[in-house]
Amino acid sequence: MTEVFLFHHAQGLTPGVIAFADVLRGEGHTVHTPDLYEGHTFGTLDEGLAYAERTGFDELLDRGVRAVADAPDSPEELVYIGFSLGVLPAQKLAQTRPGARGAVFVHSCVPSSAFGRWPSRLPVRIHAMEADRLFTDEGDADAARALVDDADDAELHLYPGDQHLFADNSLPSYDAEAAALLLDRTLMFLRSRDVGHHDA
């Protein structure tokens, strides 16, 4: 099956992020969940973002890159998934580390120019709520649409609602219906990225 690195959002490696990873594991995928916050989790998004700012976004990005480099027996052929803040390392690794098989960005998207050019044949799926102001008003939606235009295999999935971290079942922002659809789409994407899968 597929080997995945899943990077958590700004509130840390919460039970909801682990639960999402566990569903993927239950389907036979190998899923790594690096803790960029070194054990810290936060009850609100503002508290988590304040910690990220104190730590430094460059440092958090470096922690994500090091987590992949330091993983024992980690193959080059990986799929990278990022939730919100975790999109930073996921997107950098997808764009710059050889052998990426795909990427899934949830709640956020960074302009691909931040890390060079998007590899045109690298598949990517982007998921967000259509009225999430952190996605629509902070440039993420524009970055996502530009990436869809630039990449050969890219899709933007927008869900009804205005919550940011809608896929984390341990947070008040959780939306069960949208999260279930996100999981289904992600599992389908991972099956298509399976190293044993032969593309048509």
Mean pLDDT by 10 residues, the chain (200 residues): 94 98 96 96 96 96 92 76 97 92 97 92 96 96 95 96 98 98 97 58
Distances (CA, A) of 139 to 57, 119, 133, 143, 144: 17, 21, 10, 6, 9
Residue-level pLDDT at 179: 98
Residue-level pLDDT at 120: 81
Residue-level pLDDT at 200: 32
Residue-level pLDDT at 198: 37
pTM score of the predicted model: 0.94
Residue-level pLDDT at 108: 97
Rounded CA-CA distance 30/179 in Å is: 20
Rounded CA-CA distance 141/156 in Å is: 9
Q: Which fold has domain 3-193?
A: Rossmann fold (3.40.50)
Distances (CA, A) of 128 to 29, 82, 156: 23, 12, 8
Residue-level pLDDT at 99: 83
| Domain coordinates in residue numbering, the chain | 3-193
Residue-level pLDDT at 73: 62
